Structure formats: structure tokens, C-alpha cells
Amino acid sequence: DNGITMHTQVVLCPGINDGPYIEKSINDLAALYPKIQTLAVVPVGLTKYRDRLTKLRTYTSEESKELVDYIETRQKEFLKDKGTRFLWPADEFYVMADREFPGQSEYEEMDQIENGIGLARELITQFNRKKRHLKGVSSDKRVLFMTGHSSVKFLNEHIGEYARNNLNLNLDIKMVVNKFWGETVTVSGLLTGKDMLEFVYKNFDSYDTFVIPPDCLNNDALFLDNMSLDDFCDQAKKEVLIGDYDVTQTIREAFV
């Protein structure tokens, strides 16, 4: 009533609020457009700390494929009716479904990027636009990018392979298991200092430089387990870099 516009999100729990319930949620929120500008549909995140809590599970690959198909069908309907796709599935659903991310234009204004909607496509697109500037980069350094399960495959396919095959750089991108929260937590932004430090020790002799994801530190340079970046670097006893969302910049810095 006061003219406030909103961007909204539904956290989907298998067997709880999907099926006919997500259809109703989408329809109810879409009826409030344009005050409700967008809707993000994201999968529930489950930690290992779930004793005596409601039984929940993560989505299977097949369920993720069905959900992506359904949302993409609804997007076409909204685009025809409202001139906008209105709703988007999280990048995680595309990863779990083993589907290629949509083109950048299909994310329109990227209003939900902070909720993990289109972040992967934005990173890939920016890398493809700027990678020609890496032609002169040359080094014998051995560099390891650390990341979570959700992003390791597409980072290797779009960035790691290019760096190795086209630039002859010794760059590996590997997944760090999230022991702190549990293996069902797969995004890089929820990796902790302790888990990554343990990964550094296991790979200590194989690499000269270790790159941590840019989204796992807060504004005070603290990881989620309260380890400081300074403590991490002191204990790592190797060169440590904070990655940048501009991957070409990170590669340039890592292979100086």
C-alpha cells in the first residue's frame, strides 16, 4: 500500500513446500507484481547439527532437473505476460541437475545475484570477456584455487582448463570438504578457516600459492569459525591470496 517494492525468496524443502505448494507460492507472489519484483527459489541448506530437528533432506539430481524444467516453463509464461521472467532457480539447482547455466541476458537485471542467482554465469561471462588479456601471463608457480563442491566443476570447465591448456599455467581448482558445517553444505562462502588450513597442509608440498574464495571472509577479515585472515596466513606458511570475483585479476596476481 505504501509503494514499497520487494525482491523475495522461497527456500524449498523436499516434500514440505514444493510440488503444489511452490506453484501456489509462485502464483500468489506473481499476482503482486510489480510491487513484488522478483522471486528466487533456492534449495534448503542443511548442516550436520540436526539432532532432534524436523527430518529434512537435500534435493536429488532428478528432482533438481524437474524443478529447473518447471521454473523455466513458468519463466516463459511470465515473460510473455509481464515482460519479465520474474522468478529464477538458484545456481545450486543447475549444479545439482548437471545443467548448463542460462545465458547472462536471461537473468535480466541480476537483482537476485546476492542470493546465488546468476552469480556463476556472471563470473563465467566476465572471465570470457577478459581472458584475452591473460595471454602474456607466464610463470612456473604452482597455484591452487580452493572452493566448495557447488562451484568446483564449472570453475574447472570454464577457467581451470583454459588456464592449463591455453596459457600453460600450473593452476588447479579443488574442492574443500566442509567438515565444520557438514558435507551437505557445499557453497564456498560457508567454508571455514580451519577446514581450508587443513587442506593447505595436505597439499603443502604440491603448491606455491593457495587462493581462498572471496566470499568466505567478512568485512573484519574473519572466517565463519572466527579465525582471522592474519592467523590463517601465519599458520599456512605459504603465499595466500584472497580471490577476486574478477578471476582474470586473481590469475594475474597469483602468477606474478
The residue whose grid cell reads 568446483 is 152
Q: What is the pLDDT of residue 196?
A: 98
Closest listed residue to residue 155, CA positions, set 121, 129, 131 = 121
Q: What is the pLDDT of residue 154?
A: 96
The Cα 178–Cα 139 span in angstroms is 31
* Residue-wise pLDDT tens digits, 89-130: 999 999 999 999 999 999 999 999 989 899 999 999 999 999
Kindly list the strands in the beta sheet with 142-147, ordered across the sheet, starting from the edge strand earlier in the chain: 170-175, 142-147, 209-212, 239-242
Buried b (16+ CB within 10 A) or exposed e, 160-176: bebbeeebebbbbbebb
Q: Which residue has the cell 581448482?
A: 173
Give per-residue pLDDT as tens, 160-186: 999 999 999 999 999 999 999 999 999
Q: Which residue reads 564449472 in cell numbers?
A: 154
What is the rounded average pLDDT of the residues 236-247? 96
Q: CA gyration radius for the chain? A: 20
Q: Are strands 87-89 and 36-43 parallel, antiparallel or unpaired?
A: parallel
Under the banding of pLDDT at 50, 70 and 90, the label for residue 1 is confident
User: What would the mean pLDDT of 26-36 be, rounded to a whole number?
Assistant: 97
Q: What percent of the chain has pLDDT over 90?
A: 98
pLDDT tier, 223 (very low <50, low <70, confident <90, very high otherwise): very high
pLDDT of residue 167: 96
What separation, in Å, do the N-terminal and C-terminal C-alpha atoms of the chain show? 56
